[in-house]
Structure 1
Amino acid sequence: MIVPLGDDFDGRVRAAAMTWLRQRCTAEDPVVRRDELLRFQFEGRTIPLIDNRLGIRKPEGMSGALSILTTYTSDGARAPYEDAVGDDGLLRYKFQGNPQHYTNVGLRVAFEQRVPLMWFFGVKQGLYLPFFPVWIITVEVEQSQVAVALDEAQRHLSIGSVTSEIERRYSQRLTQQRLHQPVFRQRVIQAYETACAMCHLRHRSLLDAAHIIPDRDTRGVPAVSNGVSLCKIHHAAYDENILGVRPDYVIEVRADILEETDGPMLKHGLQEMQNLRLTLPRRRADHPDPELLEERYERFRTAM
């Protein structure tokens, strides 16, 4: 029996999918598995939120694309985000092959109808960090791509060469805060199996992705090898050069901190880190880069 789709099927699917994501993705568990996205239920039927083979999802019965997906790739495969951001600070998403393919047509229709989409960004094999709602704000035919706004503010920015310097900087900062930093955090935390590399705390909401070389530095790339999963206390201590990490992954505590007398946090949380070794990711490619650690360690030694 074929059940009629009814009026505004497109809008109902989008609203239901985003409501489900808001409930599903919490501070403790902000990522969603591929199999969950493929099994999404709506009004008694299965409507996958991602395509099983393609990066653009345009379900039957919907005029515009529902979602876009960026597949997880390791740091060695490509530089993270290198070709994803335009000079205006807005994210770009490439067409899938032939511009006339139904999925690419779905992107153009989503632009014309001004409908919201979901963007699933791979942080590990089969694991995605969702961004929603996002909007297609222009179609760049010659480049076979679309520009994507991450929030309402970006939807009203000028596009391309007419972007003012103030708009460009604002848009770049917004993209950094809304997408690059959260993706970097989740990739690092996933690599360290949701634990602090120093104290092994496993509460995801209390974990950060600490940069070895800060992201404001030209070498501070958003790669897992430039990050360490640390709890908020040890992240702050690392940033303040209270703790340092040698290139051989051994932790050092600043000398004056070792001589202090205080409560249990100082003793157990900081002083007892002296000469412990970081717990490293399983994949060697995800280990902290020794050269970056050495550069950062020299800054720590200077602070001593």
Structure 2
Amino acid sequence: MTLHDETVRTLVMTAIGDLATSHGGWVTRAELSALQLADGTTRRAIDQSRGIWNPRDLDATLSVLSSPSGPYADEQIADGLYRYSYREGGPGGDNRKLVRAYELQVPIILLLWLEPGKFAPVFPCYVTDNAPEERAVYIAAADSPPHDLLAAGSSVLERRWVERMTTQRLHQAAFRGKVLLAYRSTCAICNLQHPEFLDAAHIIEDKNERGEPVVPNGLTLCKIHHAAYDRRFLGISPDYRVHIDLDLLREKDGPMLRHGLQEMHGSTLTLPRARRDHPDRDRLELRYQRFLESQSS
């Protein structure tokens, strides 16, 4: 990778990361079409109409877009990789630079479609394999090229660890973007509206078979309420009411405890506008039972 190529990719990924953080895990097509970089320049980071963006001054693809309504069979596969289809046509054009990203092992950006005009960016990603017989490449989210992470002779356990990290990165990026969009970047409990302080919290953890990374299994919570929820200082019943740990209610500490937690007792969640995005009541019940068990112990 040339110095120019490395500099451009670093500037673009830094700018996209800053935007995603300020929004809550997503970026818009308009922002990606005229990305403001730290060196004062403006650069496009998404193609106008196609799924693969190949800037003329770069040797390999910069970003790829995956959309469920697209014409190609892109999918997340079981081993933690993302299968991305070639464009129609021969080995040249967009496909040539996509394959070149594999050969050079340069970091690229995977843009996961959330809703019209909004995407969850995942980076750095690497093209881990080129499969011309399938007319596809395989993409993994990793901090370093998988060739570096998995040297020849790596154990099965090492490979499974890298695959699990890849799966989590892809799931988490899309999950966060979808949940914060549904809740309009607002804490469901206290209505805080600063995405930098918000998390996409699972109702049922992702290691559980019912812990799918879907909006009805998620809540947008600020950092303090997410921590309280995970540690069973806070419970949410299936009627969307907030319950605070009984011992915590009796404590006398300071304004954060009083206003941040104790005064939330008995309040009702702020829900997404779309009913399909409301928290799943069965999942809430399962989680709430754990909270109740902690109250009786």
- On whether the aligned pair clears a TM of 0.5, the verdict is yes
Is 2:22 aligned against 1:28?
A: yes
Q: Which amino acid aligns with 2:239?
A: D
Q: Which residue, 138, 141, 144 being the options, matches 1:152? A: 144
TM norm structure 1: 0.80
How do 1:155-170 residues align onto structure 2 when only pairs under 5 Å count?
155-157=147-149, 164-170=155-161
Q: How far apart in 2 are the matches of 1:66 and 1:266?
A: 46
How far residue 110 of structure 1 moved from its aligned partner, in angstroms, is 2.3
Q: How far apart in 1 are the matches of 2:58 and 2:252?
A: 65
1:5 aligns with none
How do 1:117-266 residues align onto structure 2 when only pairs under 5 Å count?
117-149=108-140, 150-152=142-144, 154-157=146-149, 164-266=155-257
Query: Structure 1 122/285 Cα, relative in aligned 2: closer, same or farther at 3 Å?
Result: same
Alignment check: 8 A CA contact 2:75 2:84 kept: no
How far residue 237 of structure 1 moved from its aligned partner, in angstroms, is 1.0
Is 2:280 aligned against 1:289?
A: yes
Q: Unpaired runs of 5+ in structure 1?
A: 1-7, 74-81
1:128 counterpart SS class: strand
Q: Which amino acid aligns with 2:196?
A: S
- What RMSD over aligned residues (CA atoms) do the two structures have, in Å? 3.2
Alignment check: 8 A CA contact 2:105 2:145 kept: no
Is 2:65 aligned against 1:69?
A: yes
Percent identical: 40
Query: Structure 1 212/99 Cα, relative in aligned 2: closer, same or farther at 3 Å?
Result: farther
Q: How far apart in 2 are the matches of 1:72 and 1:189?
A: 19
Deviates more, 1:221-230 or 1:56-65: 56-65
Q: Which amino acid aligns with 2:30?
A: D
Q: How far apart in 1 are the matches of 2:3 and 2:254?
A: 56
TM norm structure 2: 0.82
Is 2:8 aligned against 1:16?
A: yes
1:52 aligns with 48
1:268 aligns with 259
Q: How far apart in 2 are the matches of 1:45 and 1:234?
A: 39
Query: Structure 1 238/133 Cα, relative in aligned 2: closer, same or farther at 3 Å?
Result: closer
How far residue 22 of structure 1 moved from its aligned partner, in angstroms, is 0.9
Is 2:33 aligned against 1:38?
A: yes
- CA distances 1:24-45 after superposition (whole Å, capped 9, x unpaired): 5324345432012223589999
Deviates more, 1:123-132 or 1:226-235: 123-132
Query: Structure 1 267/39 Cα, relative in aligned 2: closer, same or farther at 3 Å?
Result: closer
Alignment check: 8 A CA contact 2:15 2:36 kept: no
1:84 aligns with 76
Deviates more, 1:91-100 or 1:47-56: 91-100
Q: How far apart in 2 are the matches of 1:102 and 1:153?
A: 24
Q: Which amino acid aligns with 1:38?
A: S
Q: How far apart in 1 are the matches of 2:250 and 2:35?
A: 56
Q: How far apart in 2 are the matches of 1:211 and 1:143?
A: 35
How far residue 72 of structure 1 moved from its aligned partner, in angstroms, is 6.9
Q: Unpaired runs of 5+ in structure 2?
A: none
